[in-house]
Amino acid sequence: MAASQAVEEMRGRVVLGEFGVRNVHTTDFPGNYSGYDDAWDQDRFEKNFRVDVVHMDENSLEFDMVGIDAAIANAFRRILLAEVPTMAVEKVLVYNNTSIVQDEILAHRLGLIPIHADPRLFEYRNQGDEDGTEIDTLQFRLQVRCTRNPHAAKDSSDPNELYVNHKVYTRHMTWIPLGNQADLFPEGTIRPVHDDILIAQLRPGQEIDLLMHCVKGIGKDHAKFSPVATASYRLLPDITLLEPVEGEAAEELSRCFSPGVIEVQEVQGKKVARVANPRLDTFSREIFRHEKLKKVVRLARVRDHYIFSVESTGVLPPDVLVSEAIKVLMGKCRRFLDELDAVQMD
């Protein structure tokens, strides 16, 4: 019985010890465990696999993906970071820039501004095409000149009172439709995601006058095309109390974990600790600093239960980004199968 429990732990849990981590590698491949049928079975996979949405708002999404291997989870994360396309500034035509920000630095800053435009409605620009068209390019104009405020108080030292347009924000970027874009996209739909991103600061007489071309691209080519601010996953924590913890030890145990993980209850006049919500724990392993407590708790993570956190830059909603990542992954699988079929035919 003990041997069977040890095998199940090895197959399903990553155990965190005081001086190391056990069962890190996936071992449930065919023939590795006597009495276990680990051959691939689609029906079994479909039965065990599930996706549970835990939280979603305008820019962030947290969901659980259960029943997959680490390779698939990591591939999904990498696709979100580097292979879901967006629109970003690629070319900057500088007509006049007398600010202290050099042209190259200014162009780099403009490229990192997230653009609110659905990339699915655009095509990739052909290599070598300098001008672009309405199907592959968005055009923005930025023209700001700083002047003195004639109504400012003489004894004022506040730049906000002394100068007009001394701060250049993304709200100063004006979309210039190409071709029939004005008919396809209602006013206000093509714009920077945030209108309060500071681009540069000016002083009287300084001016920025430039034209920007936005194209479709992926984060693999440049980080400015990445649609997510963060895309990460972690394994679901599994915290087990090996024996009852009561009294002051229960209070001390609760302080070793993140708030909400360990709950202290009153049971027949005694304080008793229980695991309330292990999902909230960050696994600081503070418990191993307490000699009396470290032997009564087992820290582990569920091997095939991944908690994904996706934070969009605002270009597309996070649920759309996830669905687009799934499409990219499916496309990769189809190409791989086609290559296998081609090899077999040869």
Spelled out in words, what is the top-level CATH class assigned to the domain 9-84+231-241+296-340? alpha beta
This prediction's pTM: 0.87
Burial of 129 (0-12, 13-18, 19+ CB in 10 A): exposed
What mean pLDDT is predicted for residues 145-174? Answer: 92
What mean pLDDT is predicted for residues 307-331? Answer: 95
Rg of the chain on CA atoms, in Å = 28
Residue with tokens 């068209």: 133
Q: Is 154 a residue whose pLDDT tops 70?
A: yes
* Structure tokens belonging to residue 146: 């700083």
Band (346; pLDDT cuts 50, 70, 90): low
- Of residues 36 and 177, the one with the higher pLDDT is 177
CATH tag for 86-226 (out of 3.40.50.300, 3.60.10.10, 2.170.120.12, 3.40.50.1820): 2.170.120.12
Query: Judging by DSSP bridges, how do beta strands 21-22 and 173-175 pair with one another?
Result: unpaired
What mean pLDDT is predicted for residues 241-263? Answer: 91
pLDDT in tens, 16-75: 988 888 888 877 777 777 777 878 888 988 999 999 999 999 999 999 999 998 899 999
pLDDT in tens, 112-138: 999 999 999 999 998 877 788 899 999
pLDDT in tens, 85-94: 999 999 999 9
In whole angstroms, give the CA distance from residue 203 to residue 205.
Answer: 6
Q: What is the mean pLDDT of the chain?
A: 91
Domain ranges (residues) in the chain: 9-84+231-241+296-340, 86-226, 243-284
What mean pLDDT is predicted for residues 175-185? Answer: 92
In whole angstroms, give the CA distance from residue 137 to residue 125.
Answer: 7
Q: Please state whether 205 falls in left (phi above 0), alpha (psi between -120 and 50) or beta.
A: left
